[in-house]
Amino acid sequence: MEVFEGAPWRVELEQEMALSSQLLDVAIIEATEKGTASHSALKGHCQPHHELPDGLENLRPHNLLTYKSQHEPLNAWTLDELIGHYVNYRKLRRQPNGKRHRRAAFGLYAVATRFPRKLARRYRLQATAWEGVYELPWGAHQVRLIVLNGIAKHPRNAPWELFASEQDRLRQGLIHYRARYPNPRRGGHGELFERLYLIYRRENPTMAYTMEDFLRETHELVLANMTPEERLKGLDPEEIFKHYAPEERLKGLDPEERIKGLDPEERLKGLDPEERIKGLDPEERLKGLDPEERLKGLDQATIEAWLAKQRRDH
């Protein structure tokens, strides 16, 4: 610390470097569960249905992948960040014995929709036997670079073509993907790809089918496949009832459920006297009334006749 006294630098010790979440785009990890073939057993022996896309033929036990779309440049910073993810991953994901995985157990991949021209001007991209696939030495590491707009047009590359920006290539990827995976799982990505396939089969590329159109129709499709419970999940009951007339809200409720929670005054509101007392026995109707209220409205002759009867009976 004393070395820098009076110098235009300051020294900070053991600085925390994980202040924000760092997300790796994709990690492809060797399956080691019981009954699953090992990396060495699978290498070079994929079944035709499981033929991997170009550039992934030499997967390691741990493969870290960064992706840049057509709107994002794949540049030197991207590759530095990939190496940073590799360092963090290797520190955090240790073997059961607590040791770090060996360096040879890792594969590093940079996938870009469009060709990284600026990067290629400064660094030498080494071509491979596959179109659109390059090797790029980066520091002490070798990065496999895959350009999606430049890969071979082949059914095995359907997963790559889905992320291409060239419309013909994307259309072909959707057709190839659908042919290889004809029965998409409900709720999986396959359903979205199936939806995209139907749109591309129906629409001419030059027609004005906008992203807004796609989102609207996709939302309608999603809602149509949801159960009533799924649609209502998270909605406030008051917001739901706001869209229904009083008659529709009460439909299906028995009388007791309809008046539950109402005060006696609210229950009787709007009823005329005859409706209020309908169904009550004479004793229940008179309960709580004093003698004067009970006799109110009766003529004198009726009252005297009732008194005479009471005297005779007693």
Tens of pLDDT, residue by residue over 157-184, are 988 988 888 878 888 887 777 777 666 6
Does pTM surpass 0.85?
no
Mean pLDDT of the 198-213 span: 52
Instruction: Please give the Cα distance from 133 to 138 (Å, whole number).
Output: 16
pLDDT value of residue 165: 85
Give the list of residues 6+ apart from residue 174 with CB closer than 8 angstroms, or none: 158, 161, 162, 193, 196, 197, 200
Distance CA 256, CA 278 (A): 17
- 99's CB contacts (< 8 A; 6+ apart) are none
90-116 tens-digit pLDDT:
998 888 898 999 999 999 999 999 999
Q: Model confidence at 83, in pLDDT bands (50, 70, 90)?
A: very high
User: Both tokens of residue 3?
Assistant: 């070395």
Query: What pLDDT is recorded for position 142?
Result: 96
Rg of the chain, C-alpha, whole Å? 38
Tell me if 106 sits within 8 A of 63, measured CB to CB.
yes
* Contact call for residues 72 and 33 (beta carbons, < 8 A): no
Domain coordinates in residue numbering, the chain: 22-31+53-152, 187-268
